[in-house]
Structure 1
Amino acid sequence: MALIENELKTDTMKALVLQAPGCLEYCSVPVPIPGPGDIVIRVRAATTCGTDLKAFLRGHPQIPMPGVFGHEYSGTVVAVGNGAPFAVGDDIMGVHSAPCQECRWCVNDQENLCESIMATKVLGTYAEFLLIPERIARTNVFPKPDSLSFEQASLLEPLACVAQGVMRIQPKPQMEVLVIGPGAIGLMFVAALRRAGVQSITLAGRNLNRLEVGEQLGAKSLPLEQVHGQFDLVVECTGNVEIWEKSLEFARRGGSLVLFGGCKAGTQVRFDTQRLHYDDISVISPFHFGTRAVKMARSWLLHPEFDLSPLFSGNRDLADGEMVFRDLEQGRGIKYVFHP
């Protein structure tokens, strides 16, 4: 194992630990030690996420409690195990999972459905140091160029989820698109669809500050109640069951409805089956991402005209973690950045 001695002089580090729903504790925890092929990074930027907000409010089956919180990151390698794919001192960007590339889903180019996609994962980005297991380090971690900030590099994971959706949509420049929900994912869909050449994008929602950010990214914005007419593509990003059901009203004949915002487990929705069938409306519900989506998202981030900085609502200290998530619960801000 190689170490930067002046970075890892202590056996403990500061971190945000999710003790239980609604309870985040700023405390000291052991510094992770890499095994063969693993890497440990000094976290340079860790961004908040809607999934983390859900976990904070009500728990999440993939996020253990108590446990160090967070899964979006970028940083600098400070320790490596034998045979690791990076060297001490490398700046990196990555995501929190990687497919096995062996199961039936992976060999069928459906890596997002890998049977063991969450068997090995990166959790604990709200900390000074972070362990990245070998499987992820080899497949879904990449060098971060100097031209890309650590803050924007930390957005690779959520943007990869959006890229998975864009690959399913196969957008065309002439499409008229409605994105419902001006949260981080909805705003990333606006940016990604603009990058794909789509000219007519309407962003609908109720948070006026976030709608203004959508305009900066190239969308026309409207309060949801003022949306009229129909669209070739409707992208639902709220996870609100009533809006899931209403979103079908906005889909044009022959159009597509993308249900991206996840609802609570067990939620049931009602759609007009006659509209779905006789108007030939495609329903798409993309989940997670595969390696192609990760590489697509990274290519967007590296493009000089692709700028997601309007999504950042400010830098925060780890010690203020619980207050940050209370702000997000109230709709204040979009994405906050921790610099542990």
Structure 2
Amino acid sequence: MKAVQLVKFGEPREALRYTDLPDPAPGPGDVLVKIEAAGVCGRDLVVRKGAFPHVKPPVVPGHEGVGKVVEVGPGVERDVVGSRVFLSAIYDGTCDYCRRGFENLCRNAELLGESRNGTYAEYVVLPARFVHPFHGVDPRVAVVATCPLATAVYTLRHVDVEGRRVLVVGAGGTGVYIAQLAKVRGGEVYISTRSPEKAATLRQLGLEVAAEGDKDFDVVIDTVGSPTLERSLKLARRAGSVVVIGNVTGERASLSPALVILRQLKVLGSMAFRPWDIYEALDLLKRGLIKPLYAEYRLQDAARAHEDMEREMVVGRAVLIP
């Protein structure tokens, strides 16, 4: 099969190699999925740079994928063959976090594209219980639901935005969906970006682009991380909430505790999403409440997709088509 491998850590054209790999075969309890669309997540860029010690090249990157089940292994009912599915992270379902409904925090979670081959390929194998059938949404659109929009759904479970001034810091692949969803949920939403081109697109969506002097937000959702976190704390009003979901550079942040203490801020982290959040995301897309924003690339152009994302040229998601 054709695939893109992470062969080393570094710049996109050095680290990502378009190559031929043996066709994978499903083992007991597995399914083989023919990928129709794979999303390029900001986390993929951090992985490529070597920020996660558990990732050992060579590995096929990518954890966002939509496709069709084409083969099953022993122990899997054949009626799933032909189903269009989205993929989720692999969790054990038995640890203390899973038992409390926090599968996204599973102690033994396994993410495609890191500890096992992922979705930058024509085919991927994973256990059958981590593929989820759906219908009624084009694969190129549906892949938007498998991480960025599902992450938005989960993030906004943590804070009430109705009737509140909300700032989304960063208009990357997740930020544009959080901003849209916060508006659907009744927030007065602003979003920050350094890109004039992105700003124009965001205004077409009916979103307010934050101006330099804007501050005193009830809720600030930071999708970037270290480069913006201190400023995000300063832009929240006293007794406001700051939700941190981004870590695009993988670097540590240096903060003064006084920013949190004297302003009596509530600082929350939000980690990805659960599989059922994807179904809610798909429903939002079906109902036309969220506009899917993505740019298509051929699978062999994965390195260019990474470059364009780093240059802030992609509004929404970069989607690879095998």
TM-score, normalised relative to structure 2 = 0.88
Secondary structure at 1:283's aligned position in 2?
strand
**What are the within-5 Å matches in structure 2 for residues 72-91 of structure 1?**
72-84=64-76, 87-91=80-84
Q: Are residues 1:326 and 2:314 paired? A: no
Q: Aligned letter for 2:64? A: E
Deviation digits for residues 145-174 of structure 1 (CA, Å, limit 9, x no counterpart): 1x31101111212322222211112x2420
**What are the within-5 Å matches in structure 2 for residues 183-222 of structure 1?**
183-198=172-187, 200-222=188-210
**Structure 2 residue corresponding to 1:162, chosen from 152, 162, 174:** 152
Q: Aligned letter for 1:103? A: C
Q: Are residues 1:152 and 2:141 paired? A: yes
Runs (5+) with no aligned partner, structure 2 = none
Deviating more after overlay: 21-30 vs 122-131: 122-131
TM-score, normalised relative to structure 1 = 0.84
Give aligned-pair identity as a percent: 28
The match for 2:294 is 312
1:28, distance to aligned residue in structure 2 (A): 0.6
CA contact (8 A) 2:2 2:20 kept: yes
Q: Aligned letter for 2:310? A: E
1:263, distance to aligned residue in structure 2 (A): 6.1
1:277, distance to aligned residue in structure 2 (A): 3.1
CA contact (8 A) 1:180 1:186 kept: yes
Runs of 4+ aligned residues of structure 1 deviating over 6 Å after TM superposition are 119-122
Residues 265 and 51 of structure 1, relative CA distance in 2, 3 Å threshold? closer
Residues 91 and 291 of structure 1, relative CA distance in 2, 3 Å threshold? closer
- Separation in 2, partners of 1:114, 1:279: 33
1:77, distance to aligned residue in structure 2 (A): 1.2
Residues 222 and 323 of structure 1, relative CA distance in 2, 3 Å threshold? same
Q: Are residues 1:61 and 2:90 paired? A: no
- Separation in 2, partners of 1:269, 1:332: 28
1:78, distance to aligned residue in structure 2 (A): 0.8
1:74, distance to aligned residue in structure 2 (A): 0.6
Residues 41 and 109 of structure 1, relative CA distance in 2, 3 Å threshold? closer
CA contact (8 A) 1:56 1:325 kept: no
The match for 1:227 is 213
The match for 2:254 is 269
**What are the within-5 Å matches in structure 2 for residues 284-323 of structure 1?**
284-308=268-292, 311-313=293-295, 315-323=296-304
**Structure 1 residue corresponding to 2:245, chosen from 252, 260, 279:** 260
Q: Aligned letter for 1:183? A: G
1:179, distance to aligned residue in structure 2 (A): 0.8
- Separation in 2, partners of 1:25, 1:266: 26
Secondary structure at 1:30's aligned position in 2?
coil
Residues 72 and 278 of structure 1, relative CA distance in 2, 3 Å threshold? same
1:177, distance to aligned residue in structure 2 (A): 0.4
**Structure 2 residue corresponding to 1:20, chosen from 2, 8, 33:** 8
The match for 1:339 is 321
CA contact (8 A) 1:167 1:293 kept: no
Q: Aligned letter for 2:108? A: S
Residues 15 and 61 of structure 1, relative CA distance in 2, 3 Å threshold? same
- Separation in 2, partners of 1:122, 1:254: 43
Q: Aligned letter for 1:55? A: V
Deviating more after overlay: 62-71 vs 289-298: 289-298
Secondary structure at 1:67's aligned position in 2?
coil
Deviating more after overlay: 112-121 vs 282-291: 112-121
The match for 2:29 is 37
Secondary structure at 1:184's aligned position in 2?
coil
- Separation in 2, partners of 1:32, 1:272: 50
1:261, distance to aligned residue in structure 2 (A): 1.3
Secondary structure at 2:234's aligned position in 1?
helix
- Separation in 2, partners of 1:250, 1:235: 11
> Aligned-pair RMSD on alpha carbons?
2.3
CA contact (8 A) 1:190 1:217 kept: no
Secondary structure at 2:49's aligned position in 1?
helix
Q: Aligned letter for 1:163? A: V
The match for 1:4 is none
1:25, distance to aligned residue in structure 2 (A): 1.0
